[in-house]
Amino acid sequence: MPQASLELALLSVEFVLLIATVILLYLSRREHAGRHELLKLLSLAITALTRREYFSAVQDALRDARKNVIAVITGTPPRDEEEEEVLNSIAQRVREASKRGVRIRYLIPRSAAHLYVGHLLCRAGAEVRYRAGLAVYDLRYMVVDESRVIIGQPRGQGEEEPTKKGYVIESPTLASMLLERFESHWGAEGTVSYEEYVRQEVKSLYETNPGLTPETAAGQLNLPVEEIKRLAGDLWAHGG
């Protein structure tokens, strides 16, 4: 089953269980006070978010994290100044959380265009890996401290489609399901670290064009020249 389909199925199961629980409680508590309390609990369990609120929720979750954070994201580079500002704010939250000892891991679909985001997150203290075929066109998610889940839903079908809205779900059960799925990709064959992926891409460019310079490679991969030299400088030192 494709990852996105599995994740949607998991969400469907969680919502069905939640709705069933609400119905059972409603039948056993017909009084007005009971119904009011149920609605209050339901609103606390699932919170719908606009696009702006979604990214604010991501930053808040990183700020509140105490142990670990895992996330599957698109890794699409920012399209405008507003998106650049949001990305930098998230990177700052990652940096602050990392200094507190929080382990933060990101999985991103394998594409050279996604290296820029990986660079910023790694520089901030996160661990980043890339995997081919990682489906993020139906939803993107973050799990914080194995209990809080933040779901991002894209505007339309497509890996590069921006997130339109999202949901915050306080559910250790759903968090556990998504964490298990994440771990199956994180340690799978074919999943590579950010550092290794940069080196692979630079080596591929170098082999195609032996006259390639670090500056040209940096321009093509949208990375700082210093980063190219740090991770793949030996290609020039040893002639590939």
Write the DSSP assignment of 166-232 as a string of letters.
EEEEE-HHHHHHHHHHHHHHHTSTT-EEHHHHHHHHHHHHHHH-TT--HHHHHHHHT--HHHHHHHH
Mean pLDDT of all residues in 26-48: 48
Amino acid symbol at 157:
Q
Pick the CATH number of 46-190 from 3.40.50.300, 3.30.870.10, 3.90.1150.10, 2.40.260.10: 3.30.870.10
Ordered by start, the domain boundaries in the chain are 46-190, 197-237
Tens-place pLDDT, residues 177-189: 889 889 999 999 9
pLDDT computed for residue 166 by the predictor:
78
Q: Which residues contact 184 (CB under 8 A, 6 or more apart)?
A: none
Tens digits of residue pLDDT in 63-112: 999 999 999 998 989 888 988 999 999 999 999 999 999 999 999 999 99
